[in-house]
Structure 1
Amino acid sequence: MKSDEFFALVRSWLTSYLPRSRRLSPHTIRSYKTALNTLLAFLGDTRSLKLEQVGFDAISYSSMSEFISWLMDVRHLGASSANQRLAAVKSFLSYCAGEEPALVAIWLDVKRVRPARAPERIPDALVMPAVEALIRAPGQQTRHGLRDTMLILLMFDAAARIQEVLDLQPADIVTTPGGGAVTLTGKGRKARTVPIMDKTGRHLEQYLKMFHPAPIDLEASLFYTVWAGGQHQMSQDNVAYMLNKYAAIAREQCPEVPEHVNAHQLRHARAMQMLRAGVPLPHIKEFLGHANISTTEIYASADNQMVREAIQKAASNTPDPAPIWEGSDDLILRLAGLK
């Protein structure tokens, strides 16, 4: 198809189909427009095509596979951003195939292009001495100290996301010895009930007596701040400030506490602790509220890497054996299996 036909479909897709038929937001449409502009830049850069020369004949499985590599290697986009650009191009071609049957073959060809694989990110988990120092840092001599100790302990023990803890109500808590649990509401409003340690349950009972005296409002925020004479749910900013304040205190006792601490590091630490204790990955997946076990498997990869680093560190103190390749050329070739 000619260039004017290509751009005619681009115009109708962006100005009519997406806003009117799909009712997408201007922000989403802008991201689609950015993807197509990036595609045009790619074709100009790698195919030396001017705008008036661009047509569907330049789009194929081969060129779009190269496109996603170009996005990452030349434009230095991450895998997620590159995949978003590719998905937008595929969406555009799907629309074009519906408008012009001759383009169905091109759409089906490009559909086969696989997204870039994002590199696995090793969870930034706190080591256990750092967790323990952080839990001890607030102290329990004051009202705020008791509250903050409870918050940090519960985030760790339940491996909860920060908002999951802030959304807790007294009704979500069970402190029965041997059967303590909290019911967390996670992403997609999915609820899960996770067990807690008996000592966490005892801390919770003490906390409830002080912060939620009888008669308990079961639907009040478990953790709250008081201002303007009323109770208000704590914010994530409150927790972020609190964690770093106590991290500075904990670092004096434990140098392994990092400069900056966030709530997710406590969640990661609990997951790594469970993994090393032999808890199967499917159980950890449910505990963490992951939708896909592949997310949970990152912890196993991280643990393997830590073991590997420990082995390498230990090996650095081991004397090197005599080089195996010393000797005549003939011996070296024989040892290498080349003779």
Structure 2
Amino acid sequence: MRSDDFFQLVRSWLTIHLPRARRLSPHTIRSYKTALNALLDYLQETAHLELMTITFDIINWTTITGFVTWLLDNKHLSAATANQRLAAIKSFLSYCAGEDPALVAIWLDVKQVRPARAVVHPPDGLTMSAVEALIRAPGQHTSRGLRDTTIILLMFDAAARVQEVLDLKPADIDTTPSAGRVTLTGKGRKTRTVPIMDKTGRHLDQYWSEFHPVAPAPGAFFFYTVRAGQHHQMSQDNIAYLLNKHAAAARQQCPELPARIHAHQLRHARAMQMLRAGVPLPHIKEFLGHANIATTSIYATADNKMVREAIQHAASSTPDLAPIWKGSDDLILQLAGLK
């Protein structure tokens, strides 16, 4: 099979199948593209192949197993990230098998490659005192402070992924008192509508008045940056910068804030808060937009505080047992087998 056939299928998968047939987001497609580029790097580095010589003939169980090991040992990726790369390669080969029956055997062979065993780490959510300190840090005496406060508060309140907040349009936001909500577009372009606190709604209204004084253009992003006089969507790097900037200031009053923080910690903190408030896991699953409740259950297994409190509560409600070792000293020693 020719190299042209391989790269022609790569191109049609990335530019036609994923965006048009499967309607995946640009972010997901970039992730798939990264996986393919990593595979090409692996083949060039380990098999000393030039791009023009790479064909499907080199793709098999042994090659892809070695690729996963290379990602872990040479590129020092986590097991979870390596498994994402593996899943992308399998998805590509599944598509190829559908396009060319001659490639079915390759797909079935690679399909048997087992994912790397991932260590499940408990969610690294911020404590509530850390969340409160972070929300207060930007202040609201400047436009930028108002913007940053609104972003941090909304990410926490809606337990939103950072890209879900960045993708918000004005039409996705309803700040009606006692009925406020935002519609988030998550992974796989799946949407979910989550309620927000009235306090969050008031901050959104203030931001709206300041940053959208006239009706925004259709398709305009709610949160934006200005470059060369034009509005542009904020990036995840923008969010990472403002979070760590304000965390550095908030750490003066709240030393428990970690040295570096990321947006997902606000999402974790909200999920843990809901769990401790007694919200059932299936409801938290829908709120977070998880596809599988097993993902949500990590919060339950990680919450040692809840387990400890439950054990202490159970112990306090358990009556003291009557002692079974009672009587004279001789009797106790006999019962214990010491006489």
Task: Give the TM-score category using the shorter length.
Answer: 0.5 to 0.7
Q: How does 1:316-335 map to 2 (within 5 A)?
A: none
1:185-334 pair list within 5 angstroms:
185-213=185-213, 215-217=214-216, 219=218, 220-304=220-304, 307=307
| Secondary structure class of the residue paired with 2:140 | coil
- Cα RMSD, aligned residues only: 4.6
C-alpha distance in structure 1 between counterparts of 2:230 and 2:113, whole Å: 56
Asked whether the equivalents of residues 240 and 262 of structure 2 are also in contact (C-alpha less than 8 Å), the reply is yes
Give the Å deviation of 1:152.
Answer: 0.7
Q: Matched residues, percent identical?
A: 60
Q: Distance in 1 between matches of 2:233 and 2:89?
A: 39
Kept in 2: contact 1:83–1:115 (CA 8 A) = no
Quick one: which amino acid aligns to residue 175 of structure 1? T
C-alpha distance after superposition, 1:165-199 (max 9, x if no partner): 12212211111121110111122222211100111
Matched with 1:170 is 170
Q: Which runs of 5+ in 1 are unaligned?
A: 1-11, 41-58, 312-330
Residue 234 of structure 1 and its aligned partner are, at CA, apart by 2.3
Q: Structure 1 residue 99: deviation in Å?
A: 6.6
Aligned residue in 1 for 2:6:
18
Larger CA deviation: 197-206 vs 28-37: 28-37
Cα deviation digits, residues 117-167 of structure 1 (max 9, x gap): 322122221111000000000111222211111111011101111121122
> Shift in Å at residue 233 of structure 1?
2.6
**1:247, 1:257 within 8 Å by CA — same for their partners in 2?**
yes
Cα distance change, pair 282–256 in 1 and its aligned pair in 2 (3 A)? same
Query: How far apart in 1 are the matches of 2:7 and 2:183?
Result: 41
Aligned to 1:184: 184
Count of aligned residue pairs for this structure pair: 277
Aligned to 1:3: none
CA contact (8 A) 1:83 1:116 kept: no
Q: TM-score, normalised by structure 1?
A: 0.64
Does structure 2 retain, via aligned residues, the 8 Å contact 1:138–1:145? yes
Question: Which TM-score applies when normalising by structure 2?
Answer: 0.64
Partner of 1:148: 148
Kept in 1: contact 2:72–2:78 (CA 8 A): no
Deviation of residue 18 (structure 1)?
Answer: 3.4
The answer as to whether partners of 1:164 and 1:186 remain within 8 angstroms in 2 is yes
Kindly tell me: are residues 116 and 178 of structure 1, through their superposed partners in 2, closer, same or farther at Cα, counting changes over 3 Å?
Answer: same
Q: Structure 2 stretches of 5 or more lacking a match?
A: 15-32, 48-59, 312-332
Deviates more, 1:292-301 or 1:168-177: 292-301
Which amino acid in 2 is paired with 1:18? F
Q: Find the structure with the greater CA-based Rg.
A: 1
Amino acid corresponding to residue 165 of structure 2 in structure 1: V
- Aligned partners of 2:42 and 2:67 also within 8 Å: no
* CA drift at 1:271: 1.1
Paired amino acid for 1:280: P
